[in-house]
A and B are shown apart, each in its own frame.
Chain A
Amino acid sequence: DTGVSQDPRHKITKRGQNVTFRCDPISEHNRLYWYRQTLGQGPEFLTYFQNEAQLEKSRLLSDRFSAERPKGSFSTLEIQRTEQGDSAMYLCASSFQLAGPYNEQFFGPGTRLTVL
């Protein structure tokens, strides 16, 4: 098992451009989460999927952000018309939902976005 992978690891873009990030979860995991983390803060929830269904999206997320998980495997996060405030580490995590509260979540290495 290779763990959660994310691509690219770093992305530098100009303000106004669109960017797309990919996450490949641990193969048997049915839940996939996206987070954003800025310096000195903990990860901030963006959205999550159970299989291919997007179950919740943060109200903090503007309409410029969209995520998909078309076949219940990998997921993509797209940011349209990037702004300098979008500069952050974007983290993906996956878990396997068990009955009860047990639900350990494992993170990928993250994609660091810099918007110039």
Chain B
Amino acid sequence: QKEVEQNSGPLSVPEGAIASLNCTYSDRGSQSFFWYRQYSGKSPELIMSIYSNGDKEDGRFTAQLNKASQYVSLLIRDSQPSDSATYLCAVKDNFNKFYFGSGTKLNVKP
């Protein structure tokens, strides 16, 4: 069974700080990695995708990938209360199936 592991949190950060979310995965052959944001009672919203080792930046968000360590992370700079949500890490395997972690709940305190 391919697994995606995330710390469930909650992760609490003050407004304006950097939030760091982490994810590890078991399938070494995976090539595609995604971060979704999910507000309570809503469906997941794609915020970042990353396919190559290194960093990918999009606005206040930076995704980091290290395939050798099977590790993906998401940094949120200048965290805002509106960033408070559950962040899901997803991994696509070579058979086009997506595996999701259970999510990390982020609380940004004003």
Contacts and interface: CB of A to CB of B under 8 A. Distances in A.
A40 interface: yes
B43 A42 contact: no
Contacts of A55: 96
Given A41-B102, A43-B44, A91-B43, A105 B97 contact: no
Interface string A56-72: 10000000000000000
Contact-size category for B: 20 to 34
B49 A43 contact: no
Given A42-B100, A101-B32, A56 B46 contact: no
Contact of B4 (A42, A101, A103): A42
Contacts of B32: 101-103
B87 to A, nearest CB: 10
Contacts of B97: 45, 48, 56
Nearest to A45: B97
Interface of B: 4, 8, 31-32, 34, 36, 42-46, 49, 51, 88, 90, 92, 95-103
